[in-house]
Structure 1
Amino acid sequence: MYWQVQEAKQRFSEVLRAAETGEPQIVTKHGEEVAVVIDIAAYRRLKGEQVGLMEYLRVDPLDDVDLDAEIGRTGEPPRDIDLAG
């Protein structure tokens, strides 16, 4: 999403909420991109810092994946696997 500086200032809470969902928020000034607001976990990954479990879980890597896709399965029963040997 793109925001002009003035609009980003007026609606900063909305900019932050959108960034928290993992969608980068780009701020423009006179039509030129000047800044981007991103989630803190994404920032830390970009810096190469280790991300804590809770921050990692907050980011949805499947956000843009179609989870309603049909998965083809055969009607065969599952196979037996010998885990002891």
Structure 2
Amino acid sequence: MHLHRQRMRDNLVDMTRISLRYKAPPKRPAPPPGHWVLQDAKARFSELVRRVHSEGPQHVTVHGRDEVVVVSADEYRRMRGELTGQGLVSVMQASPHQDIELTVHHPDAMPVRDVQL
């Protein structure tokens, strides 16, 4: 019986030594507010979408670098703007160089070279 207890004690000592030598992998630092590691963004996508609406744009990182920013559809439309060309017209009208004359060439009025095939 004494031998059995000795073996159990030796096993416990060995297991303790092994566990003391084991070092857990370093924990990755928590991303700053509004930033998501890709795996977390995928696993908690509904929460990410809710936060876009409550907190604004959310950054998704891959290997510690910003890869994409998730924004609401309204914010995206606002940033993209209407595709009417009004932005360009407004900038040109506000230019201090309005005395410069621009010539507009229409694609159908451009000369075309003859090419031998």
TM-score (ref. length: structure 1): 0.55
Matched, 1:33 2:66: yes
Bigger CA radius of gyration: 2
Aligned match for 1:15, one of 33, 48, 54: 48
Structure 1 stretches of 4+ with a deviation exceeding 2 A read none
Q: Percent identity?
A: 44
TM-score (ref. length: structure 2): 0.40
Amino acid at match of 2:64: G
Higher percent of residues as helix:
2
Structure 1 residue runs of 5 or longer lacking an equivalent are 51-85
What residue number does 1:64 align with? none
Higher percent of residues as strand:
1
Q: 1:20 deviation in Å?
A: 1.7
Q: How does 1:1-85 map to 2 (within 5 A)?
A: 1-21=34-54, 23-49=56-82
Structure 2 residue runs of 5 or longer lacking an equivalent are 1-33, 84-117
Q: 1:23 deviation in Å?
A: 0.9
Q: CA RMSD in A?
A: 1.6
